[in-house]
Structure 1
């Protein structure tokens, strides 16, 4: 196992800030101080108080203190405690060479690393998170963990910090624009209001209303965000009037409940009251979704006799308008998402209506059908779109699979988990696929072909994860069950999987007759998926198992052409990559490079970070090493390594390929020396996938902020890059002052201009460079000066 490195060489996976971070100076200092003395710090507080945002900002500020990275593990959408360790491994980019990246494997991996893990939203998984945190902290002396949860983990050594609401103007505070700026809640309200209404300004006339709103919302960031969203349809005074009236109705609430929780509930109650009966019903039903949803799913899961499918589109539009759900992303299909606190509210209403189980059943059925459709149409022009759809629906798939393995028939659960075989493999979710297959296979065993399919898919995953004994045992069970069932196309997959197990173990001669047997059966059945899969591995086995690599060319070319004829992408890319490996072994370096580049071109159609991209970067690196283009070879190896880590995959399970990789690394270290090799390799890991593909294809890097150029140091090249980004001379001066840590007021004093003028320069700089914070500007400048 190994860890991943994000683009530009910054270890970790913290997302960029897309909105300004307001206040929390004292809390940030507290987190830094507590992490200096305690290895586990938990941020507690009410939902919506801003724990997640505070933790992420603290992580950004502390990146330099953790050379091996700050890693965010998002748990809000996870429901199965057994998947906590898997989710942490995925966030870290752990490469799956073992059966499962559980607690012991993670502990061994992190033992020598100086890392900060952020476990975000743990309250519903507090037991599993506590157990994992305790295991990791006992084994990893340099590890720190920062947790956000509505309750503490309650394990030894834990320090807790209760996150309070933002500061609020007191009833006697001077109500002036300058006076309001001293309060965090007012600053947040004004900034978010400006985003909704670009012409919004703080004036003497609205100061009192802003102050009263902050008091009524009690400084809760989420409450402020939700309330300000209403500025699209209401004035500040109308919002205040409605909120004030609503809170008066809640004075008889539970005395032991914090006032801020009552306030947040009141805000959501208000949204509920603003909805029609049909909107409320759909709101509650959509709460069964996790991680977002698309319209076709809403129409299927949310509709019934009381809520016809043809009304769902208008109801969704109404819920978007009322800020109950929001449209997210800019993909070809509209996607919608609820805030977690809004979703939980809807779930409670769904339970009150007695509809929870029925809607969960429909939700499971919808995603089981999506999985079946994607499996049946894998070989089609829809492949790329289906791959993206399953990726986007990962959280929903987990919820639906949980229902399937706990409440549905065994055949449903088995078929559902097995139909996602391409999702588990192409996306690199091997351990998660194994988890769901194991749970489905543990259900009362039906004598049905769905079980045979689940067994052979589980055997294939075990093979890829280097668990050969388990793979053979699973396949033996599949074979035994198949013998007592009526004939089925599934029977052809058994020799295919058996051949893969042999080939991965280096037994090419044993694999060949098994592949030939499978190919004949698939052709009789007209199974394009089976035929392409078999042709690709048959060609690879023929080329790797004998003295003549060209023996594998015909099968690989046949697979490539068959895939191209049917609009299929994955096997076409894989077969073309395999062709590049065999051409390289045959001494045809130009032909190998051409095939690897063709594989990259085709692979980009499915995903930016998919398995065949890593394979093609590897084979191009081997070609470059043979041609003694050593620096380029090392960079490509590093780029391939980053893709493996992002995909949670490796070459370790394929004995022959791992040998080629190790030979290339050894040769490059001898010729370059360890230091030069490591530096070039590291440069490769710092490339994004798009940049790595552009490098491999000898094309310009994607457009964006000017990238560093090797050997271009000093002040003049940096200033030239800033000029290229469109910054004026004065704005370039401001960049330098930002990098020195000066505030807007200090910049204004240094340049002898008004503070408002300095603020305008800063906003222009952020816009032109595509950044959202001053820290990014300072980091960008430091990076370019270092290069």
Structure 2
């Protein structure tokens, strides 16, 4: 192509890598596949996410496919769109006396050449780059163009891939040193730390800090690089502690990096400058959200006379295009996320504009209304969707609740915390619900039904958490306040909820005879008012109390069946599940073990419709453990009881709060332990407690728990090669017959060259099979493949 391209070796101008390339196996495979079908591929993503490194790595690995070279054109420092073609020509080494350095001249020069052009950092020159790319692709059939940009070019034939941050451990993950290599962010951090401190190593002592750093930096490669550079003067723990001021800490970039990448602040400034004034206003206002947002919330909270609600959708689309925010998940409602570093930047701009208090108030009001809507529509076909939305909004709810209990008014804080009663209870967030209710109740006390509701919800949570004295004191306050409130034209449902909660306190204490008339009193009021949620709750506990209060458990069946049918008729899920669980308890007491197991399994299946439901799951696992014990399936029973115990611990609750259930629990454990012996029982109980939620459900429904392949550690060097695994089991994972052969050869320890010789194929073909296997199994090393295959053999 030019004098610069005639030297021996690969054709092109890609610079040599000066640091190792970590992770991105899935993205590498995806980009290569896209380039095989599309002549223009654009890598989009936030600043610092690694688009340039990925693009250059793809180019480096695909050089053999482009006989006329892979050419990098760096556009970050260019400001004049009229010079884009000139800059490309200069990168290609085109001599002006031979070819005109404009789009037509470049098209003539590249016509008939098989080359890959990498246009790097095009976001501020999108129009000019789009025009040039379209001209070149029309005239040069063998040309491929790979673009990196915070927004796509938006021309015909373009394929786009959004580059996400590196994988990070889940917030509740308890990682060990052996687990960390599974996460790309941790691998990058460790590799760079080793370069700064040659003696650096992952240990049990620093593993948790590394995990927390990866989570705090959100898997952003640039942020990780900048943070690790501080290891010259700070410890990992000090870096983690100082991340509260990221912009000040993360200012230690390499001197040869572009200016915008030498500090995190400069990188975000670059994105800010690319935005229009309205986009900047929306960016700053969106910073009030935490953990993501949905369109309807943004339209209500961020709109005013400067920014109309009708304009929000297009502005969000533009911010997505510019990688300021990203769409996350694939649920029925589009949801958007802003990286924390970008959110903090926007928050600073919002404060500078003096808008923070007003936007925070609107944010609080919006989520308080969402909570009120969820409470009012609990007993409806929308229940599962409402609960899922509240779970997605957990971070926003916390921010809004904090504002409500610090800024008031008290009525808003009390109503907000109490309206989330089902969220606290069903999800198992009992301690968090208690925290917010306590703070709201500590505010200046209004004489209002909202305070009565907050008091009785707090009382109910205290009852479930086995704090009976507090439960009784809170309910007494609720009853006293309700008596002093003036009568209204329409009675408050709290007049029925008070005896309902009082009956629950009695029932949990084992006084079923006292609970029954209280439940009957509440039931009459709820039925007269048409309060479905209260009526279903009352029917469920009334049936349970009736069945536990006599020697004939069947006396409780009619109320439980009525609750189940009423819930089913109204599309309600949770109380239907609870009623089935209660039915399983009464059947078990009546000696109908098979019927008890059937009802408990149905309860579990119905409860699964409410995603991440915890309370009912713990109850169903417990009941199935009792039934299994009665059938002398002792290993199964012990594991189910262990799984149930894990759920209760996670909720910071216990069956000991319900005297009758505690007695049944202890009775079942004594029987099963007596038959198994202490050692076998404890081992099985521990195995059950170590199961994930999904595995526990599989076990409860008599399905074998699935083992997560990615969790299998790599084998040690001395591990012998395992025997072949079942081809049918490997095919289930989407592995082709040839890949199945290769995976077994990897497990034997063969190199790519040896695999190629064994299969009589080219070495490059063998390498391709290995890459595909790693991609399909989400692994980064051959050792992980071997360990995974050995584990599949064992299980």
User: Which bin holds the TM-score, normalised by the shorter protein?
Assistant: 0.5 to 0.7
C-alpha displacement at 1:391, in angstroms? 0.6
Q: 1:26 to 1:283 in 2, by over 3 A?
A: closer
Match of 1:228 in 2: none
Confirm or deny that 1:509 pairs with 2:675.
no
C-alpha displacement at 1:619, in angstroms? 1.1
C-alpha displacement at 1:727, in angstroms? 4.1
Does the aligned pair in 2 maintain the 1:718–1:784 contact within 8 Å? no
CA distance, structure 1, for counterparts of residue 212 and residue 481 of structure 2: 53
Match of 1:420 in 2: 420
Q: 1:480 to 1:45 in 2, by over 3 A?
A: closer
Q: 1:622 to 1:285 in 2, by over 3 A?
A: same
State which drifts further: 360-369 or 603-612: 603-612
Query: TM-score w.r.t. structure 2 length?
Result: 0.67
Does the aligned pair in 1 maintain the 2:722–2:747 contact within 8 Å? no
C-alpha displacement at 1:576, in angstroms? 0.8
C-alpha displacement at 1:763, in angstroms? 2.3
State which of 691, 696, 702 in structure 2 corresponds to 1:692: 696
Match of 1:780 in 2: 788
Match of 1:107 in 2: none
Does the aligned pair in 2 maintain the 1:46–1:150 contact within 8 Å? no
Match of 1:761 in 2: 769
Confirm or deny that 1:676 pairs with 2:680.
yes
Match of 2:614 in 1: 610
CA distance, structure 2, for counterparts of residue 33 and residue 404 of structure 1: 46
C-alpha displacement at 1:303, in angstroms? 0.8
- SS where residue 327 of structure 2 aligns? strand
Does the aligned pair in 2 maintain the 1:609–1:643 contact within 8 Å? no
Match of 2:233 in 1: none
Match of 2:442 in 1: 442
CA distance, structure 2, for counterparts of residue 520 and residue 765 of structure 1: 64
State which drifts further: 617-626 or 363-372: 617-626
Deviations 1:372-398 (A, max 9, x none): 000000000010001011111111001
Match of 2:457 in 1: 457
- SS where residue 446 of structure 1 aligns? coil
CA distance, structure 1, for counterparts of residue 178 and residue 652 of structure 2: 15
Deviations 1:59-116 (A, max 9, x none): xxxxxxxxxxxxxxxxxxxxxxxxxxxxxxxxxxxxxxxxxxxxxxxxxxxxxxxxxx
Number of residue pairs aligned between Structure 1 and Structure 2: 599
Match of 2:730 in 1: 722
CA distance, structure 2, for counterparts of residue 647 and residue 45 of structure 1: 23
Match of 2:291 in 1: 291
Match of 1:530 in 2: 534
Segments of 5+ residues of structure 1 without an aligned counterpart are: 58-119, 122-144, 154-161, 171-214, 218-243, 248-258
Question: Pairwise mapping of residues 251-270 of structure 1 onto structure 2 (< 5 A)?
Answer: 260-261=262-263, 264-270=264-270
Deviations 1:177-233 (A, max 9, x none): xxxxxxxxxxxxxxxxxxxxxxxxxxxxxxxxxxxxxx334xxxxxxxxxxxxxxxx
C-alpha displacement at 1:700, in angstroms? 7.4
Does the aligned pair in 2 maintain the 1:576–1:595 contact within 8 Å? yes
C-alpha displacement at 1:38, in angstroms? 5.9
Q: 1:494 to 1:42 in 2, by over 3 A?
A: same
- SS where residue 484 of structure 2 aligns? coil
State which of 216, 227, 246 in structure 1 corresponds to 2:257: 216
C-alpha displacement at 1:282, in angstroms? 0.7
Does the aligned pair in 1 maintain the 2:176–2:204 contact within 8 Å? no
Confirm or deny that 1:399 pairs with 2:440.
no
- SS where residue 336 of structure 2 aligns? strand
C-alpha displacement at 1:669, in angstroms? 1.9
Does the aligned pair in 1 maintain the 2:193–2:200 contact within 8 Å? no
CA distance, structure 1, for counterparts of residue 211 and residue 385 of structure 2: 40
C-alpha displacement at 1:780, in angstroms? 2.5
Q: 1:6 to 1:736 in 2, by over 3 A?
A: farther
Question: Pairwise mapping of residues 6-25 of structure 1 onto structure 2 (< 5 A)?
Answer: 17=183, 21-22=187-188, 24-25=190-191
C-alpha displacement at 1:313, in angstroms? 0.9
Deviations 1:495-545 (A, max 9, x none): 111111111111212222211111122122221111111111111111112
Match of 2:329 in 1: 329
CA distance, structure 1, for counterparts of residue 670 and residue 239 of structure 2: 44
Deviations 1:750-775 (A, max 9, x none): 99998855653332113333556667
CA distance, structure 2, for counterparts of residue 751 and residue 361 of structure 1: 67
CA distance, structure 1, for counterparts of residue 741 and residue 349 of structure 2: 56
CA distance, structure 1, for counterparts of residue 219 and residue 561 of structure 2: 51
Match of 2:569 in 1: 565
Does the aligned pair in 2 maintain the 1:45–1:151 contact within 8 Å? no
CA distance, structure 1, for counterparts of residue 533 and residue 178 of structure 2: 37
Does the aligned pair in 2 maintain the 1:609–1:646 contact within 8 Å? no
Confirm or deny that 1:581 pairs with 2:585.
yes
Question: Pairwise mapping of residues 707-718 of structure 1 onto structure 2 (< 5 A)?
Answer: 715-717=723-725
Match of 1:372 in 2: 372
CA distance, structure 1, for counterparts of residue 220 and residue 771 of structure 2: 22
Question: Pairwise mapping of residues 276-355 of structure 1 onto structure 2 (< 5 A)?
Answer: 276-355=276-355
CA distance, structure 2, for counterparts of residue 584 and residue 732 of structure 1: 48
Match of 1:545 in 2: 549
Does the aligned pair in 1 maintain the 2:185–2:219 contact within 8 Å? no
Match of 1:430 in 2: 430
- SS where residue 447 of structure 2 aligns? coil
- SS where residue 384 of structure 1 aligns? helix
C-alpha displacement at 1:310, in angstroms? 1.2
C-alpha displacement at 1:273, in angstroms? 1.6
State which drifts further: 777-786 or 427-436: 777-786
Q: 1:643 to 1:446 in 2, by over 3 A?
A: same
Q: 1:40 to 1:687 in 2, by over 3 A?
A: closer
Match of 1:591 in 2: 595
Query: TM-score w.r.t. structure 1 length?
Result: 0.68
Confirm or deny that 1:358 pairs with 2:358.
yes
Does the aligned pair in 2 maintain the 1:327–1:336 contact within 8 Å? yes
Match of 1:142 in 2: none
- SS where residue 151 of structure 1 aligns? helix
CA distance, structure 2, for counterparts of residue 44 and residue 512 of structure 1: 51
CA distance, structure 2, for counterparts of residue 653 and residue 146 of structure 1: 40
C-alpha displacement at 1:617, in angstroms? 2.0
Does the aligned pair in 1 maintain the 2:414–2:440 contact within 8 Å? yes
Question: Pairwise mapping of residues 102-121 of structure 1 onto structure 2 (< 5 A)?
Answer: none
C-alpha displacement at 1:716, in angstroms? 3.7
Does the aligned pair in 2 maintain the 1:410–1:445 contact within 8 Å? yes
State which drifts further: 692-701 or 274-283: 692-701
CA distance, structure 2, for counterparts of residue 148 and residue 446 of structure 1: 46
C-alpha displacement at 1:688, in angstroms? 3.9
Match of 1:498 in 2: 502
- SS where residue 336 of structure 1 aligns? strand
State which of 650, 657, 662 in structure 1 corresponds to 2:661: 657
CA distance, structure 1, for counterparts of residue 457 and residue 512 of structure 2: 21
